[in-house]
Amino acid sequence: MPSDCIPFSDTNYFSSLICDYLDQKSELQPFYNRFPELENFKDQIKEKQHSFSNEHRKVLVQALRKQYKGVDPSDLTSQNIESLDKPTTFTIVTGHQLNLFTGPLYFLYKIISTINLTKDLKEKYPEYDFVPIYWMATEDHDFEEINYFNLFGKKIQWNRNDGGAVGVFDTEGLDKVFEIFSLEIGAGRNAEYLKSLFKEAYLQHNHLAEATRYLANELFGEYGLVIVDGDDRKLKKLFTPFVERELTNQVAYTKVIPKAEKLEAQGYKVQVNPREINLFYLADGLRERIIEKEEKYFVNETDISWSKSEILKELSEHPERFSPNVMMRPLYQEVILPNLCYIGGGGELAYWLELKDYFETVDVPFPMLLLRNSVLIQTKKQAEKIEKLNVSDTELFLKQHELINRKVRRISNINIDFDPQRKHLKEQFKAMYVLAEQTDVTFNNAVKAQEIKQLKGLDVLEKRLLKAQRRKLSDHVKRLTTLQNELFPNQSLQERNTNFAEFYLEYGDDLIPTLMKHLDPLKGEFLILKY
């Protein structure tokens, strides 16, 4: 199966911050610990091994055993859970929201990147074991971000009224989603598998976290994936010292703000800004911010309040009610897992790069940060069309008007480039400026205005000629436009829109093994996979 790679910077879909990070620009080195290369994991292992306690390992294994009750894990997943009790076992983590039926394709790419990196590490460091972890964002409350998936250009959506952490949402109403999904994908062996997968996950489980665990385990359990739910009393208990420091000293705010300002001073966009207290309070149907005012603590939009001693007592007795926000969740993850590396998308890595000083202050090793694999899947027919249209992989990533204009210029029998005329015009005006210098400033200004006017006139003529040629070559333009729209739905990356079901219908059981084979987590380039 042919494949190709292009640099992330050539796609025009990744920020300058991420592209510069991948290039290991010197100005970004203070924002991360070690760059993710196989040789660098040796020191990362030593650092984490020294800091991570056996007590935390035992609590982690106990919590995972409990979370996996009622689940049928593979032998490899079971072995991985038990191996976490050993001081020579470490994790590689990716996290994701509980998107309905996995959401967009990059859910798969995140997990496959994670699994494949553990394989590479085992080969490089055979004396250690490495466990791939999918961290479920069960405490997230952005329901509108996860309650749908896109299929054949249509939005399949789950509508319900609810509040609080999404992991505990019941699955009521998903039977209607299943009916719509079933009609859309039709019949056939692959379609029937997808139907059974959806039905078993969402109609046979009571809560969204349970459904998502089942789904991820079915897709990746054979590869040893371990799924972690951070909404767990035992795991939260391990994190209480850090929560207490956040409540009383506002550590995240004081350490992240200066780091974010340094990123901004270098011209990068700051992804997330911390709050004074980076914690939510969890209750039935509730996940709201904790706010401190005049030495009292409040839950936003509620009547709940505590004194300092009262909230610390609440934390001690009910640690499960305290939920870290986006700035503290990374720390929570690193406190309860023997983790070496976090794998995420560009947006995730952007806010992780704000956190290094915070981690150093609370004395927790900062993990390596790895950009997940990105993939553009081309069907055989699409690859053939690309070849016939004589378009390069890099050109496909251009904005549509840029792609069309470039192609029309290339295939037109008329030279649609007025640069020679512009150069000739500027040469003529040089002589006019010499003459103008011998008169007064008003004549010089008149010459300059005329030059600008005539250059603009050339721009207009060039655009009109290009537009005329586009009409003349409309058939070619239409085929090119249709092709790009197929590969880049809504003029965005395929992986950010399309659900895996579309490709599973086509390729069936071969889909995930093929991705496993071709995704190299340390390659550092965007993969074009011609299926």
* CATH number where 129 lies: 3.40.50
| pLDDT of 69 | 94
For residue 398, being part of any structural domain is answered with yes
Contact 447, 433 (CB under 8 A): yes
127, 223: one domain: yes
What tens digit of pLDDT does each residue of 354-378 get?
Answer: 999 999 999 999 999 999 999 999 9
440, 340: one domain: no
Q: For residues 100 and 197, give the distance between their C-alpha atoms in angstroms, rounded to a whole number.
A: 12
Contact 512, 223 (CB under 8 A): no
| pLDDT of 476 | 72
Domain boundary among 372, 401, 434: 372
What integer is the mean pLDDT of 308-326? 98
For residue 1, being part of any structural domain is answered with no
Number of C-beta neighbours around residue 367 at 10 A: 28
What tens digit of pLDDT does each residue of 100-148 get?
Answer: 999 999 999 999 999 999 999 999 999 999 999 999 999 999 999 999 9
Domain boundary among 338, 372, 406: 372
Of 82-91, 367-376, 439-448, 473-482, the range with the lowest mean pLDDT is: 439-448
Task: Please list, residue by residue across 59-95, b when 16 or more beta carbons sit within 10 angstroms of its beta carbon and e when fewer do.
Answer: bbbebbeebbeeeebeeebbebbebbeeeebbbbbbb
Q: Partners of 88 in the beta sheet?
A: none
| pLDDT of 389 | 87
Helix (H) or strand (E) holding 154: strand 154-157
Q: How many CA atoms lie within 13 A of 193 on its CB side?
A: 15
353, 393: one domain: no
What integer is the mean pLDDT of 337-363? 98
What integer is the mean pLDDT of 243-254? 97
409/351: higher pLDDT: 351
402, 360: one domain: no
445, 489: one domain: yes
For residue 242, being part of any structural domain is answered with no
Q: Is the pLDDT of residue 6 over 70?
A: yes
Which of the four pLDDT bands, split at 50, 70 and 90, describes residue 450? confident
For residue 64, being part of any structural domain is answered with yes
406, 486: one domain: yes
Task: Please list, residue by residue across 304-323, b when 16 or more beta carbons sit within 10 angstroms of its beta carbon and e when fewer do.
Answer: bebeeeebbebbeeebebbb
Q: Is the pLDDT of residue 72 over 50?
A: yes
392, 365: one domain: no
For residue 87, being part of any structural domain is answered with yes
Which of the four pLDDT bands, split at 50, 70 and 90, describes residue 461? low
Which of the four pLDDT bands, split at 50, 70 and 90, describes residue 226? very high
Q: Is the pLDDT of residue 387 over 50?
A: yes
| pLDDT of 424 | 62
Q: Is the pLDDT of residue 513 over 70?
A: yes
480, 347: one domain: no
Q: For residues 299 and 286, give the distance between their C-alpha atoms in angstroms, rounded to a whole number.
A: 10
What integer is the mean pLDDT of 435-448? 71
The amino acid occupying position 170 is D
DSSP per residue, 329-349: HHHHHHHHS-EEEEEE-HHHH
What integer is the mean pLDDT of 6-13? 95
Which of the four pLDDT bands, split at 50, 70 and 90, describes residue 77? very high
Number of C-beta neighbours around residue 142 at 10 A: 10
Contact 363, 510 (CB under 8 A): no
| pLDDT of 479 | 87
Q: Is the pLDDT of residue 288 over 90?
A: yes
Q: Is the pLDDT of residue 472 over 60?
A: no
Q: Mean pLDDT over all residues of the chain?
A: 92
Distance of CA 283 to the CA centre of its chain: 28
Its pTM stands at: 0.89
| pLDDT of 413 | 47
What integer is the mean pLDDT of 492-511? 97
Q: Partners of 154 in the beta sheet?
A: 151
206, 71: one domain: yes
For residue 7, being part of any structural domain is answered with no
Number of domains the chain contains: 2
388, 356: one domain: no
Which domain covers residue 454, as residue numbers?
380-494
Q: For residues 309 and 530, give the distance between their C-alpha atoms in angstroms, rounded to a whole number.
A: 61
68, 205: one domain: yes
Q: Is the pLDDT of residue 459 over 80?
A: no
For residue 304, being part of any structural domain is answered with no
What tens digit of pLDDT does each residue of 10-65 get?
Answer: 999 999 999 999 999 999 999 999 999 999 999 999 999 999 999 999 999 999 99
64, 208: one domain: yes
For residue 305, being part of any structural domain is answered with no
| pLDDT of 95 | 98
Of 118-122, 227-231, 446-450, 498-502, the range with the lowest mean pLDDT is: 446-450
